[in-house]
Chains A and B, each alone.
Chain A
């Protein structure tokens, strides 16, 4: 029952007027950021890190702000996918399939509020799961030594590739680039300068915000150059804004199923919202069978991916908070923010700073409710934002990005570095490399190296310590399974092809 006590304490933190206003601002900013092309949750959250720091927000408020922005961004992405049929990011692709047809049938308001509601239920289920399992996991994780941590991080990286599906090799390369980049700068253990090229500015390593904004904002700016369309005509959101009881009841079973599924997918590192929404949509389509009109504006087809996204976003916070191992790009950014405040997420966080953990969990609840409420009066304003043309938007994004980077260290070197990283990111994107593994690798790299060195110090250089305990052995087993997964998948695909050729 400790947990419930902590949770109410968390609500106490989140419901203080200051934090409520923070959460409201966060959801508003997040929604606008998510709406605009070229800005997604990752750079939205990253842009706000230096600003939250400059504003002198206390850590729990800063984290609440970032979480609210994150949820707001997801919601904003939903608006553009339902009204424009343009998914803001990969995870909302499934939302367009039934959301846009619903909007075309004059149910735009209903679709939006229903999606917000579904996402709320998903987040609610995941938060309950988090309340139940996170303290257990944290208690268990205290038994982890450096060797176990190292193996766990290897597993997280391999999981990324194993779950990525169509391009495991490129995902690995991207993650390795991130892992390598984390080694740049002065080595904390020995004081050796690594890969700094004798530059003072590099001694500190590459700043996380610089890397994120370069990879995501600058490359997006360059990518937007290719697309020449000027603004979009959004479907007008008229008529009923709120779903009615019957509609909510008809998707309730879907919500529960997809919420559980999304939570599990969210907890697994590397799976994340994209996979969760796709699996949820496909499963529901199969369950509905011929009775469903999936793809033509079925409410269930809208609710399924949205619930899964909401649940997996919150589920992704479980490994981040309990183990300090992020599972997605956005949680990696949040860890970066926490490190700025000198807070190391991990099993001890639950004991040492319960205010932060439970305040964050409680504010996720509150931000979700805010989004459902905001939807009704604000939707017309939000749809007008969609009409902003690129020529007005892109220079402003470039300028704000530069401010965000400059705010970290106040040196122009970081600006040049950001542009360099941005060009690299653009090239990688054109060659179909995923970018968020670079972020994850960058965050995990430092931890991984420290734990590896600590483990080998304990054993005096004996490599055997890495597979001496039963925990690390089982994690190694899972790692090998994950490594084999892409091979297995390609083998099955090939045998299927062969069969289809034989049939023809």
Chain B
């Protein structure tokens, strides 16, 4: 309940900031009566109203049966996983697809309970396979990065 109230209030604040951002949006000259700011402001306004309702009277969260409660270890895991994903995005072009995929894939597999050797084998094989499949067969260009030297 309290989490939901906090969330609604944070989102409400975000809405307010965005509305302030949207206020100066005006076309330099325009032939139509409705400018570029009307629609976003309308949406933000409605969202604000709905969020206020939610903050005042939060609806109970229905937990599914197989959903374990969030505890500290899970939260740490989620933080690590997010970190790995961000690292993936950051190294995607500089290190190249295969290297960065292996770099984050192995720890990620460990996070989900795989053994070192198994994870390494699966992830290395899959990243090379996917690179070949997408870059060579399906014409989706992927960066080679560090492995650039291997080409030609």
User: Which A residues are closer than 8 A to B by beta carbons?
Assistant: 50-51, 54-56, 166-167, 169-170, 172-173, 176-177, 179-180, 183, 187, 189-192, 194-195, 218, 221-222, 224-228, 230, 389-392, 394-396, 398-400, 402-403, 406-407, 410, 412, 415-416, 418-419, 422-423, 426-427, 430-432, 445, 448-449, 452-453, 456-457, 460-461
Contacts and interface: CB of A to CB of B under 8 A. Distances in A.
A221 B25 contact: no
A431 B50 CA distance: 15
A481 B27 CA distance: 37
B33 A456 contact: yes
B81 interface: yes
Nearest to B62: A432
Interface in B91-114: 92-93, 97, 101, 104-106, 108-114
Nearest to A460: B33
Contacts of A407: 134, 140
A56 B123 CA distance: 29
Nearest to B123: A395
B111 A190 contact: no
A interface secondary structure, majority:
helix
Nearest to A455: B34
A167 B142 CA distance: 42
Contacts of A392: 109, 114, 118-119, 122
B138 A228 contact: no
Contact of B47 (A180, A194, A399, A449): A180
Contact of B113 (A192, A222, A230, A416): A230
Nearest to A441: B43
Contacts of A225: 74, 77-78, 81, 111-112
A418 B34 CA distance: 32
Given A173-B50, A176-B46, A427-B7, A400 B32 contact: no
Given A390-B112, A419-B86, 11 more contacts: A54-B140, A169-B53, A176-B43, A189-B27, A224-B112, A395-B101, A431-B4, A432-B61, A432-B62, A456-B34, A457-B33
B151 interface: no
Contacts, number: 195
A170 B59 contact: yes
B148 interface: no
B27 A191 contact: yes
Interface in B72-87: 74, 77-78, 81-82, 85-86
Nearest to B21: A195
B interface secondary structure, majority:
helix
B59 A183 contact: no
B32 A457 contact: yes
Contacts of A419: 82, 85-86, 89
A170 B54 contact: yes
A402 B90 CA distance: 12
Contacts of A50: 140
Contact of B88 (A389, A398, A423, A456): A398
A194 B46 contact: no
A207 to B, nearest CB: 15
Nearest to B141: A410
B36 A189 contact: yes
A399 B54 contact: no
B39 interface: yes
B78 A194 contact: no
A445 B34 CA distance: 16
Contacts of A191: 27
Contact of A402 (B34, B92, B111): B92
B141 to A, nearest CB: 7
A113 B44 CA distance: 48
Contacts of A228: 113
B127 to A, nearest CB: 6
Contacts of B18: 180, 195
Contact of B66 (A56, A227, A398, A456): A227
A431 to B, nearest CB: 6
Contact of A399 (B21, B37, B61, B126): B126
Nearest to A404: B140
B85 A218 contact: yes
18 contacts: A169-B53, A173-B47, A173-B51, A183-B40, A190-B35, A218-B85, A221-B81, A222-B78, A225-B77, A391-B114, A392-B109, A403-B130, A403-B134, A406-B92, A412-B92, A415-B92, A456-B34, A461-B34
